[in-house]
Amino acid sequence: MTTSPSARGARRRHRDDTALALLFIAPASIGLLVFLIWPMITGIYYSFTEYTTLTPPTWVGLQNYREMLADSVFWNALVVTVLYVVINIGVQTIVALVIAVLMQRLTQSTILRSLVLTPYLVSNVVAAIVFLWILDTQLGIANIALGWFGIGPIQFWSNEAWVIPTIALVNVWRHMGYTALLIFAGLQSIPSHLYEAARTDGATEVQMFRRITMPLLRPILALVLIMTIIGSFQVFDTVSVTTQGGPADASRVLQMYIYQNAFAEYEFGYASALSVALLLILLVITFTQYRLSRAGESDLD
């Protein structure tokens, strides 16, 4: 049986499309290999070595990990990081959810969405410098305003009890607009006829939020939480600009501790072990949260 010209042409076009697709993904694949996969493999190898800039890597096995488990500074940095994540994610998620629901229920203005996203366009370093001035103990406008009400001055950056909440809320201000737009995109996927039917049955806005919005928003909200938690565990620039880990290690987050070991003490092997530990922590948290939140399932099905 002979093959028709149209069938041969279809197969030829399919082969051409595959080659074109590989050509388009090649730059991204090369970037992924060079800037992510290879550094990760190299970092894992270095975590089993004693390595400084002055000597070649020397294999020491699990010595760095045993040292890490006995390192009180590491455990303090982990506790500080978890505290930061809890405050940052808790406040950011609630505020972003409220903003997203208000945008969906009251107005869907493009201008308003642009304004909400504006803080995210400011770099972390710039935001940290601005809030460093605003919250300064002596000259900051925030403490001047609090003084009008007989409060303060509050040592936002130099008090052990205030420093992590302050850093967390600065980053809430910067990221809440972006998180709100992600949640807003999820709200757009909820069919409007569900709200109309509930409204016809006499449901209030609060009841519709609890029984329609939250259950159907769960997959998107779970993915947003996974993304924001991963980003929060990697906080560094705000701490580096404002406190350098002080006072008395009260804001020395895990990324700051890794940086100090690598570029201040030149202990690249130990810093690599700390980085691998952070990677494992994030993998466990992501997998657990994904399974518990059933992020891959939707109640619309």
In one-letter notation, the amino acid at residue 205 is E
Which of the residues in the chain have pLDDT under 50? none
Q: What is the pLDDT of residue 218?
A: 87
Residues 47-95: pLDDT tens digits?
A: 999 998 788 899 999 999 999 999 999 999 999 999 999 999 999 999 9
What is the reported pLDDT for 116?
85
Say what the pLDDT of residue 152 is. 77
Q: Is the CB of residue 290 less than 8 Å from the CB of residue 224?
A: no
Residue 210: its pLDDT value, please?
87
232: nearest Cα among 96, 85, 79: 85
CB 256 within 8 A of CB 240: yes
DSSP state of 60: -
Q: Tell me if the pTM is above 0.85.
A: yes
Cβ count within 10 A of residue 291: 10
* pLDDT at residue 12, as a whole number: 53
Q: Which helix (H) or strand (E) holds 279?
A: helix 268-293
Distance CA 285, CA 227 (A): 11
Residues 6+ positions from 152 with CB-CB distance below 8 Å: 143, 146
Please tell me the predicted confidence (pLDDT) of residue 257.
96
φ and ψ of 49, to 5 deg: -130, 165
pLDDT at 11: 54
